[in-house]
Amino acid sequence: MTTYEPVIGMECHAELLTQSKMFCGCANEFGGAPNTRTCPV
């Protein structure tokens, strides 16, 4: 029989008061339509 090892993780979300996103120059504005404030790849 195989034994299992439990792995417990934690995820934390934070909202920053910045004018742009962390890893690109796109505007960081709340309330827009989904997937509209993105950079082209």
Residues 1-41: pLDDT tens digits?
779 999 999 999 988 888 888 888 888 877 778 888 888 76
Cβ atoms of 27 and 19 within 8 Å: the answer is: yes
Residue 41: the pLDDT is: 67
Residue 37: the pLDDT is: 81
pTM of the model: 0.41
Residue 7: the pLDDT is: 95
What tokens appear for 34 in the block? 């989904």
Per domain, the residue ranges of the chain are 17-41
Residue 40: the pLDDT is: 78
Residue 34: the pLDDT is: 84
Alpha helices, DSSP H, located in the chain = none
